[in-house]
Amino acid sequence: MTGCLFLCLACSSQESFLTAAAELQGEVIAVLDGEQIRDKDLDIKAELMKLEQDMYQVRREALEKSIVLRLLTKEASAKGMEVMELLASVVDRKVPEPTQSEVRAYYEKRKSRLRKPFAELQGEITALLRKTSLQQARNDYINSLRQNIDLEILLTPPRLSVNLQNAHVTGPENAPITLVEFSDFQCPYCRRIQPTLKELFEEYEGEIRWVFKDSSRCSTRS
C-alpha cells in the first residue's frame, strides 16, 4: 500500500461491526459464472471501521447529553426549579456582558475577513461573545456538578485488532499505549511524519510502545 501511513491503537477485538462482519466472512453472497464470491472477498474493512467510529461518536455524544440532562434535572429538582430556571439563576445572571473593548478587539483581529464596518457588526459580535461566555460558564457549572458524582462510562470506542507478529518494536512491552505505524520506505509522505513520531515517542518515553510494519509487505488485514 505505497504512499500510505496508518496509525492505530492495537488491542483486542470487541463485539462490533468488524467482528460481526468477520463471522460472515465465509458466507457466499454471489455466484458469478459458477464462481462463488464470499463476504471475505470484499475489501471493505476500512469502510466498516469508519462506520463503527461514526456510530460510536453518535452514541458518545448522545450519552454525554443524557448525563448532563440528568445532572441538571437532579440539581434543579433539589432547588425546586426547572432546568432552564436553574441555569438562568445560578449561571447566566453571573455572566457579564462583553465590554466595548472586548467587542472592538474581536473585530480588529478579524476585520480583514469580516469586510464590514465595525458599526454594522457590533451588535452581532456582542451577541456572539455573550453566547460564548454563557456556554463556557454553563460548561464550567456542569463540570463542577460532575465532581460530586459517581460516574463510570462503560461505552468503549471501537478497536481494530492488529497482528504484530514479526514487526519491529521500540518501547516497553507493558506501555499503556501501543502505536502501530504502517509505513513504506519509498513513500515521501511517510518520511515527513517521522520527525513528529520521533518527537512524540521521546516526549512520552516509557509510555508508548512503537510498532513498525512495512506496508509494502503487509496489508491492514494482517
- Is residue 174 assigned to a domain? yes
* Integer CA distances (angstroms), 168 to 164, 179, 182, 183, in order: 9, 12, 11, 12
Name the pTM for this structure.
0.60
Give burial (CB, 10 Å; 0-12/13-18/19+) of 209.
buried
Domain final residue, candidates 121, 146, 171: 146
Same domain, 174 and 123: no
- Is residue 121 assigned to a domain? yes
Q: Which domain does 203 fall in, by range?
A: 1-14+159-222
Task: Report CA 167 to chain centroid distance, whole Å.
Answer: 27
Q: Which uninterrupted H or E stretch holds 6?
A: strand 6-9
Total domains, the chain: 2
Same domain, 81 and 127: yes
- Is residue 62 assigned to a domain? yes
pLDDT (tens, 9 = 90+) of the chain, 222 residues, equals 333 344 444 333 344 555 555 556 678 889 999 999 988 888 888 788 889 999 999 999 999 999 999 999 999 999 999 999 999 999 999 999 999 999 999 999 988 888 899 999 999 999 999 999 999 999 999 999 999 899 899 998 887 777 777 778 888 888 888 888 877 777 888 888 888 888 888 888 888 888 887 766 544 444
Same domain, 96 and 136: yes
Taking a C-beta distance cutoff of 8 angstroms, is the pair 155, 16 a contact? no
Residue type for 150, please?
A: D
Give the CATH number of the domain where residue 219 resides: 3.40.30.10
- Is residue 7 assigned to a domain? yes
C-alpha cell at 14: 470487541
Same domain, 168 and 140: no
